[in-house]
Amino acid sequence: MCAGKGTKTILMSNLLKGEGTITAYDKIKERLGVLKSRVKELKLKNINFDMKNKDQFDLILCDVPCSGTGTWRRRPENMIWFKNEELEKLKFVQNNILLNAAKLCKIGGKIVYITCSVLYDENEFQIKSFLNNFKNFDVINFREDIKKYIKKELFKYDKYGLTLSPDVLNTDGYFISMLKKTA
C-alpha cells in the first residue's frame, strides 16, 4: 500500500528473484502509472496491480504518507511550512491505511507500518490505537533479528516498534512496526 513510484516494490521483486507475487497499490494513480511503466520497462513478472478480495495477503507493506519529520535534518525549511492541521489530516489517512491493511491481511499474515517521521502521534500512537481496535493483531518484536545485522544499539525500540533516529545514525529518521494477524 502507498507504493508510490515503486522503488521499494521493485526492490522487493529483486529480493524475491522474481518469485512470489507482489500486488502494488497507491491511491494516487499518477504515481502508480510511473510504477507500471517501470515494471514494464524492467520486465518484472511478479508485480501486479490487481487488488482482489479481503483476507488474501501474507504481507502488507504500508509506507504511509507522513510529516517527514525524520528528513528535517537535511530539509530544515520544511519545519517552517508544517502545520498542526496537516498532522491531523495525516493521522486520519494513516489510520485509514492501517484499517484497510487489516481487511486485506490473512490470518497469520503481517502488516509492516513505516514512516519517515519521528513523531509519536504518527508512530507509536497509530500502532497503539490500531491494536486497541484490532485485538486479533499482535506486535512482532524484531529487535533480535536486527541485532544480527546491526551490532550496536543504534535505535530506540519500544513495544510498538523501532525508531531510527537521525541524531544517532546521521541519516533520516524512520519508524517501523510489524504486526501479525492472529485470528
Give pLDDT, residue 149: 72
Give pLDDT, residue 75: 87
Give pLDDT, residue 37: 96
Give pLDDT, residue 152: 63
Give pLDDT, residue 171: 84
The answer, as to whether pTM is greater than 0.85, is: yes
Q: What angle do CA 90, 91, 97 make, to 5 degrees?
A: 90
Give pLDDT, residue 168: 77
DSSP string, 28-58: SHHHHHHHHHHHHHHT-SSEE-----SS-EE
> Which among 70, 73, 59, 67 has a CA at the least distance from the CA of 24?
59
Give pLDDT, residue 1: 93
Q: Which residues are catalytic?
A: 116
C-alpha cell at 50: 490487481
Strand partners, 57: 105
pLDDT tens, position by position, for the chain (183 residues)?
A: 999 999 999 999 999 998 899 999 999 999 999 999 999 999 999 999 987 766 789 999 999 999 999 999 888 898 898 999 999 999 999 999 999 999 999 999 999 999 999 999 999 999 999 999 999 999 999 877 777 776 666 677 789 999 888 887 788 999 999 999 999
